[in-house]
Amino acid sequence: MSLFRPGPVALMVLAYCALLVALMTRTPLWLDEVLQLLGTSTPDPQQAVAWAARNAGGVPLGYLVQWGSLRLLGDTSLAARLPSALAALLSAFLLMRICRLIALPRPSIALILFLILPLQLRYAVEARPYSLALLFTLCATELALHLRRQPRVLYFALYLAAAISALYTQPYSGFLLAAHVPWLLREKRALAWKLAAALALALAAFAPWYLHARPLWLEAVQTSGVHFQLEPATFLMAFREISGGGYAVSIPLITLALVGALRGNLTTGNRWMLACTALVPPVLVLAADAWFGYFFAIRQIIFILPALVILAAEGARLLSAQNRQLGTAALAALLLAATAHNYRHIRTKGENWALAASVLQLATGSQACAVIAPKAHLNLYTHFQPGLLQRTCPTDLTRQSVVIAATSPYTTPSEARDLWRQLYGAGFERSYRTHAGGTSIYVLRRQAAGTLSRSPTERGPLAANPGPFTVPLRTFTTSRPILTSEANHVPQTLAVPYSLPRPDLAPARRAVDGQRRDNLRNPPGPVKGSSRRRQGRDLQPDHRL
């Protein structure tokens, strides 16, 4: 195992830092990051706190830390993501300290596994509070280990501060702190009850925020459209996604962790501590999701990763001691699978709201207006291009000759049908279509008076099967199409009150064709989070629990 000497480990940590910087500056922001930035990019910190309360499970500390970073370094993706990256590096440092406190023979293996796991790397470069909450849970775990050796008032005070900080960063982090009580009940009952009292004080400090935000949380959960469902696929998803890299990463990780837990050389107390912090939080998370009616997502149990990598490191060491080839193969399979998944994740073209907003701004030009489906997604684009607020279409489209329509990866089929029902009913025909940053952008122009309209099939699949309330289109022997909302009453003529000249589509064509050329040079990959099968997957907006 010469690979894990301090020299190579230090080089890997430096490479990890360089990777974090590259990802923070080059990876576009995705939906949940933009949603948080809508609140933290405001000049008033009170608005950031109010925005946190309106999101299900939102708590203020992570928002305020990001707000301070943006005020200090400017409104950039690097400033928004820097707190998460720094928290990830400090978490790696605390993990090494915990490994030494429990006398792990090869702590460098645990460190490398922690740094390379896709789930940890993902949230280390996202402008979300999960990496910061993970840091506070590691800090509390280290303090609990110190208290087991030497109970001191200072350690209790620091433990209480870490617990309150964790709750005010991500509420579900408190479930890992709750696992400290059954762990210590087996060894030191008096200390366990003292820690339980400290956790009770932390909950008391969290209670004012909970009572203030709970009605808003419940409202957000009800309007989210996705609710809790406990089924066998839930447990299968948790097993697959616990590493963030699918079965190829989770199977060797869990296998090595089981070997380390059942046959490792760690003391019984330390193995019991790792088992409690790995098994108790998922049970409590499922119970909390069932209580609130919210869907289960793997990010809610990210706090068990340190226990898993420590046990997996011990399992890899034990296998290598018994069978060098087997231990090396198992560890190599885990590292290679995690590296391959991270590479694919980095290379995959996903959401890019800034690019989509820029294309929309260019496409509207001076004559066209923009309509977003649904309207609630408009602020996701205006955050990057505030000028789009002045280019949105009015409710009455009779004076518009060119319309730029946009649907995001999160637009539901019913919302898209409503959009086409509105535009086709107003007499618009689709001329161009392109994709920019996961957003589908359409250029539509009003049909000239007296011309035949295309059939619903020619308009596209959504128009061909528009739903029960869409105005049907019927073509008769007359020189123009007949529009009617009732099958039993079909007028033979259609009065057109005015005739529109052919609109100037040049600005919109230039913007859309330019994006089309970019797509041909760099074909977009699958959009992250565009799947409609949201139950059982970690594709939900993280601004909720």
Rg (CA), the chain: 28
- pLDDT band of residue 118 (cuts 50, 70, 90) is very high
Higher pLDDT, 244 or 515: 244
Between CA 82 and CA 97 the distance in angstroms is 23
- pLDDT band of residue 311 (cuts 50, 70, 90) is very high
In a domain, 204, yes or no: yes
In a domain, 115, yes or no: yes
Torsion from C-alpha of 483, 489, 495, 501, nearest 10 degrees: 0
Based on the domain organization, do 71 and 100 belong to the same domain? yes
- pLDDT band of residue 446 (cuts 50, 70, 90) is confident
Q: Could you give the percent of the chain with pLDDT greater than 70?
A: 81
- The pLDDT score that the predictor gives to residue 521 is 54
Q: What is the DSSP letter of 73?
A: H
Most confident of the following: 43-47, 156-160, 378-382, 509-513? 156-160
- The pLDDT score that the predictor gives to residue 518 is 56
Q: 369-373 and 402-407: which strand pairing?
A: parallel
503, 385 in Cβ contact below 8 A? no
- pLDDT band of residue 347 (cuts 50, 70, 90) is confident
Q: Give the residue-averaged pLDDT of 313-341.
A: 92
Q: 428-436 and 439-446: which strand pairing?
A: antiparallel
- The pLDDT score that the predictor gives to residue 507 is 52
Based on the domain organization, do 339 and 429 belong to the same domain? no
Q: Give the residue-averaged pLDDT of 259-273.
A: 91
- The pLDDT score that the predictor gives to residue 536 is 35
Q: Range with the lowest mean pLDDT among 59-73, 315-329, 390-404, 495-509?
A: 495-509
- The pLDDT score that the predictor gives to residue 539 is 32
- pLDDT band of residue 6 (cuts 50, 70, 90) is low
- The pLDDT score that the predictor gives to residue 221 is 82
Based on the domain organization, do 279 and 209 belong to the same domain? yes
* Whether residue 476 has pLDDT greater than 60: no
Based on the domain organization, do 251 and 383 belong to the same domain? no
H/E stretch holding 154: helix 153-167
Q: Give the residue-averaged pLDDT of 78-107.
A: 94
In a domain, 158, yes or no: yes
Higher pLDDT, 430 or 531: 430
Which of 400, 424, 446 terminates a domain? The answer is 446
H/E stretch holding 371: strand 369-373
Most confident of the following: 263-267, 314-318, 421-425? 314-318
Model pLDDT for residues 244-260, shown as the tens digit of each residue: 999 999 999 999 999 99
Most confident of the following: 205-214, 225-234, 418-427? 205-214
Q: What are phi and psi for residue 406, nearest 5 degrees?
A: -140, 135
Q: Give the residue-averaged pLDDT of 48-56.
A: 91
Domain count, the chain: 2
Which of 396, 413, 446 terminates a domain? The answer is 446
H/E stretch holding 480: none
Q: What is the mean pLDDT of the chain?
A: 81
Between CA 119 and CA 100 the distance in angstroms is 24
Based on the domain organization, do 55 and 150 belong to the same domain? yes
- pLDDT band of residue 511 (cuts 50, 70, 90) is low
Between CA 157 and CA 134 the distance in angstroms is 19
* Whether residue 482 has pLDDT greater than 50: no
Which of 314, 347, 380 terminates a domain? The answer is 347
Based on the domain organization, do 141 and 65 belong to the same domain? yes
Between CA 339 and CA 220 the distance in angstroms is 37
Model pLDDT for residues 379-396, shown as the tens digit of each residue: 999 999 998 998 899 888
- The pLDDT score that the predictor gives to residue 293 is 84
- The pLDDT score that the predictor gives to residue 114 is 96
* Whether residue 335 has pLDDT greater than 90: yes
Q: Range with the lowest mean pLDDT among 5-14, 189-198, 199-208, 275-284?
A: 5-14
- pLDDT band of residue 307 (cuts 50, 70, 90) is very high
Q: Give the residue-averaged pLDDT of 481-508.
A: 33
* Whether residue 458 has pLDDT greater than 50: no
Based on the domain organization, do 319 and 388 belong to the same domain? no
- The pLDDT score that the predictor gives to residue 522 is 54
Sign, Cα dihedral of 463, 467, 469, 474: positive
Tokens of 15: 């490479």
Read off the pTM: 0.81
- The pLDDT score that the predictor gives to residue 9 is 76
In a domain, 172, yes or no: yes
Across-strand partners of 537?
none
Per DSSP, the three-state class of 481 is coil
Based on the domain organization, do 37 and 82 belong to the same domain? yes
In a domain, 99, yes or no: yes
In a domain, 536, yes or no: no
Higher pLDDT, 90 or 434: 90
Q: Give the residue-averaged pLDDT of 395-423.
A: 89
Domain interval for residue 184: 8-347
- The pLDDT score that the predictor gives to residue 526 is 46
Q: What is the DSSP letter of 522?
A: S
Q: Cis before residue 374, ω within 30 degrees of 0?
A: yes
Q: Give the residue-averaged pLDDT of 172-193.
A: 93
In a domain, 528, yes or no: no
Between CA 190 and CA 184 the distance in angstroms is 9
In a domain, 36, yes or no: yes
Q: Could you give the percent of the chain with pLDDT greater than 90?
A: 53
Model pLDDT for residues 38-49, shown as the tens digit of each residue: 999 999 999 999
Higher pLDDT, 349 or 353: 353
Between CA 433 and CA 406 the distance in angstroms is 10
Based on the domain organization, do 273 and 422 belong to the same domain? no
28, 348 in Cβ contact below 8 A? no
Tokens of 72: 């200090």
Based on the domain organization, do 120 and 264 belong to the same domain? yes
Based on the domain organization, do 42 and 177 belong to the same domain? yes
Per DSSP, the three-state class of 298 is helix
- pLDDT band of residue 496 (cuts 50, 70, 90) is very low
Based on the domain organization, do 357 and 340 belong to the same domain? no
